[in-house]
Structure 1
């Protein structure tokens, strides 16, 4: 059986309301059985204006009725027999059959509270002042429980509110929660409030010369015979939800495991980024030392070049003046002592050159060996290849050997000068030997000079390469810093992701736990809901007085005052004098016949 819709409830209530008044006979002297129809006149704001009750009895034979109620006035609606109202007790002699009497209650207390408010064009207005007005109207209606009333009414009675709006006076009707029907020229808006429930709803419309019949609210006991609904489709959805919760929980667990692996990998990446940053910094720091060493080596090569140039000039002078040296041997003899002193200085200069080349050779070897030691690979950013560097080292070694040879030769010359100084006769021979040695030295020196110039050019390339290596190492270090920052952010992100997956798995596990027996809970809840609206046995209480113990049915009919324009009384027109018998005879003269003088 399909679920009962709001429209179905409206139909059920509409059919049920005319049938709530039952019939029952009673024996004389037994408690009087009756039905109560409670009519409530409400003001425009929903407050109670007046309550009166029509009491309905069914008698199999004439007798006396005794009824109870706190009435301010009573009236016989069936016969002319007088009603006795004393000490909240009503008595009357009635004939057999249906008997009705009306009593006006002193109380204005109802099981439900009705609240109605109106706004016209956004301004609050009373219902009385709405009659004949035009504009945009909004109504707010609330139906709430009065917990000071008998709870049996709240627990077992449903309410149906009906509002009729004139389609000519009301346009663009918006009533979101209403069941709308066309009733002649009116729009009927219906609302259902089930037992133990409350409801508020709004209606908006554009009105012209507004008038409205009174809102009617009926209350009847809601006890229906309802078959169990067909829940197969619903339960299929529940089973799908349960299976989905299991799959979702399994997937969340796998996701959490994956995030754990990702977190481990990011941790390794972060550690590697730290090591790479440290290594890049050491490389950058080493390139700074290398550049300084190359600068010193370049400065030394410049000094070596300058000394070689000066030495070359001296050799040229020495060679060109060999004849003069021979001719001026005596001057040489006299200056031998001076030359001897100078030769010691020259030997010292050669020692300095040898020491300078040796130092540069050691620095170059260190610059070549240190990167290999740190990285295991030759520095790719150096301008000179390893082969070129080896050649450069070999050249420097050759130059050192040549300088050492030169020093040894000059030492021999120095010894010769000493001998020359000690033995002038052998001076000429020594001068000739010296001249020849000078020529040999001059020829060999040109090779040394060319090597020194090549060394200077190589030092320039080495300096440029060292600068490029330093710049590359700086960029590499900056990149490793960015990489480390990125790995830190990625690691922080994995921490947040891990927290999120933990919360997700907690949620999916909770969902799985709460849905595993949802099918049983849904069945039980449906049974509870259906049981709430199935026929329930309860003793119908009298709304009028607890002394009325034999009450078959109680019905509430509440109506809000109409909103209508008061009509101005029109004075009655004077009735035209009716023609008498003679006049009627005159009127019988045929149409168009002229009267004669004798007529």
Structure 2
């Protein structure tokens, strides 16, 4: 009984003392706050973290700012912002908010307060759309569905907000997927897939001053999608210029190699030009030689006809001399004597034609041999062709170059194999021309003998004449057979040379195309050299330009909520969409009664 009385007295004492203590403590706190508000404080810097929630499609719903002050002297501080309401996150002291002006008493150290905004827009327009099996589906109808799922996120500048954030901030967009629910995950090129615990995390980065078009595809079962997180931070890191000396050296080696190729193609162009000139001269000489061969071939038939007449006449004279000498008709000798000058003149013209033919043949043959010998012996390999292809040269021109190179070497090989036959033609022409001269001389002797018959006794000289005519007729018949064989050879030579001349004409056309093609190739390699001559410097300038485009190291932070705020150190944005989740079934459970202890009951008494 006594113990109970003591406990009761202690409790009553505590009940009587506690309210007065609380009132006194509250009074002391208020007095301290009032004293702090009377003295201005100082802060080193201020940070702003902007939190925003979006609907699953990107429609802005809620936005508030957590302001963080680094206070170096306690006292009254003033901040600005279009807030609807504010909340002290550091202490229980009040914050005064009026006409977008915030006043509060801040102790030394870190001070936090939250400002809630209503319709303030973000610097980015964010649009999110969803497709299931190729059909666009509203987010409200996606939860729990199966199929091929695709989400597309588009970001662009909000034209109604200061562009400084769009121009200097990069966006980091993150989606988190449960691998038990999502399979065959494929992100667009900007996305990076990584493991985050048991989940897959897909992260995208949108650079400053760039619009984003991000997409993600996967096969899904019982679809649920946690909120998409979007962080915006200033791209204020300094980008170091990479060491490109080694790369520049390699580029310089490349330009030097291109210069050597250009010089080599220039030398090739000069050589091909000389080759083309030589082949053109060969073609012209061959045309003259062909004409002479055709003339000789056409004259061969007349030569054979005349020789046949001579042969027949000599045979007739020789046979007639074997009969009765008194019956010899000297009129036939007179006819033969009259024809002999004509035959001799024809042989003289033929001799001159053969001399002309031999001279032209020698010149043409020498030019052809010189031109074909001037064709270079170098070999163009497949590796050389691939190098030309990779140098940027016109592929069609390179193919023409190689085809003409092949044709030129084929013509050279054919000439080498037929050189012995060509060499023999000149000697054969000399022999034929000498034989014609001998025949012409013999005809003169025959004409002299026949003329002498007019002044001598025919009967006395006929025996000698018969013997001479028999011998001459036999010799001429052998000559006539050789002449017929020779004219056939001339005909075959003329026909064969026509084909050779056609090949030389084709070769000339090929070398002409080759010269044009190599000229175009040289122009191409020249242009390539000119465009790559300053490649190392151009590369450095391009890298400097790219780095300067994304180097925001000189960016100075400004307040998102008001341009009146000073000493702003940083502003960050934390944005998140609502999750797409299956609704949980409500379960009604009877709350368990918890046994209350003494202090809980005492607290309940005072509340």
Shorter-chain TM-score bucket reads 0.5 to 0.7
Q: Secondary structure at the match of 2:507?
A: helix
Distance in 2 (alpha carbons) for counterparts of 1:117 and 1:461:
102
2:100 maps to 89
The alignment partner of 1:242 has SS state of helix
Which among 42, 46, 62 is matched to residue 54 of structure 2? Answer: 42
Asked whether the 8 Å contact 2:293–2:357 carries over to 1, the reply is no
SS at match of 1:251: helix
For the structure 1 residues 407 and 164, does the alpha-carbon distance in structure 2 shift closer, same or farther, using more than 3 Å as the test? farther
> 1:62, 1:80 → 2: CA distance?
15
Match of residue 591 from structure 1:
none
TM-score, normalization: structure 2?
Answer: 0.67
Q: How far apart are residue 134 of structure 1 and its match? A: 3.4
- What residue in structure 2 maps to residue 561 of structure 1? 578
TM-score computed with the length of structure 1 as normaliser? 0.67
Q: Which residue of 2 aligns with 1:210?
A: 223
Q: Deviations over 1:238-276 (max 9, x none)?
A: 23433543x236414532541342144124224312322
Describe the superposition over 1:110-167 as per-residue Cα deviations: whole angstroms up to 9, x where unpaired: 3223344444445555544443333444444344344553232134322221111211
Matched with 1:470 is 491
Whole-angstrom distance in 2 between the partners of 1:270 and 1:125: 77
Kept after mapping to 1: 8 A contact 2:289/2:357: no
Correspondence for 1:56 among 67, 73, 84: 67
Q: Which residue of 2 aligns with 1:241?
A: 251
1:174/1:524 CA distance change after superposition, 3 Å: closer
- Partner of 2:114: helix, strand, or coil? strand
Structure 2 gaps, min length 5: 1-35, 363-424, 594-607
Match of 1:10 in 2: none
Shift of 1:57: 5.5
Secondary structure at 2:67's aligned position in 1? strand
Equivalent residue number for residue 277 of structure 1: 286
- Per-residue CA deviation, residues 97-119 of structure 1 (Å, 9 max, x unaligned), is 84533423314x43223344444
What residue is the counterpart of 2:123 in the other structure? 111
Q: Over the residues paired in the alignment, what is the CA RMSD in angstroms?
A: 4.3
Q: Give the corresponding residue for 1:418.
A: none
Matched position secondary structure for 1:562: coil
Partner Cα distance (2:473, 2:150) in 1: 106
In the alignment, the residues of structure 1 paired with residue 562 and residue 294 of structure 2 have an alpha-carbon distance, to the nearest angstrom, of 104
The structure having more radius of gyration, on CA atoms, is 1
Distance 1:523 1:564, change over 3 A: closer
1:278–1:164 CA distance, 2 compared to 1 (3 A): same
> In the superposition, relative to structure 1, how do residues 385 and 36 fare at CA in structure 2: closer, same or farther (>3 Å)?
same
Displacement of 1:219 = 0.8
1:417-444: per-residue Cα shift (whole Å, max 9, x none)? xxxxxxxxxxxxxxxxx5xx4xx63674
For 1:144-163, list aligned pairs within 5 A: 144-146=156-158, 148-163=160-175
Q: Does the CA contact (< 8 Å) of 1:382 and 1:468 recur in 2?
A: no
Query: 1:217 offset after TM fit, Å?
Result: 0.8
Residue of structure 2 equivalent to 1:293: 302
> What corresponds to 2:349 in structure 1?
366
Pair 114,468 (structure 1): closer, same or farther in 2 beyond 3 Å: farther
SS in 2 for 1:373: helix
Q: Matches of residues 57-456 of structure 1 in structure 2 within 5 Å?
A: 67-69=80-82, 73-74=84-85, 76=87, 89=100, 98-107=111-120, 109-146=121-158, 148-175=160-187, 176-224=189-237, 231=243, 234-245=244-255, 247-248=256-257, 250-252=259-261, 254-301=263-310, 303-304=312-313, 307-308=316-317, 311=320, 315-316=322-323, 318=324, 346-376=329-359, 385=432, 388-389=435-436, 392-393=439-440, 395-406=442-453, 408-409=455-456, 412=457, 437=460, 441=462, 444-445=465-466, 447-449=468-470, 451-456=472-477
Cα contact 2:308–2:480 (8 A) shared by 1 = no
Measure the CA separation in 1 of the matches of 2:449 and 2:79.
Answer: 151
Aligned residues: 488
Unaligned runs of 5+ in 1: 1-24, 323-338, 414-433, 578-599
Superposition deviation, residue 76 in structure 1: 4.0
> Does structure 2 retain, via aligned residues, the 8 Å contact 1:63–1:94?
yes
C-alpha distance 449-190 of structure 1, shift in aligned 2 (>3 A): same
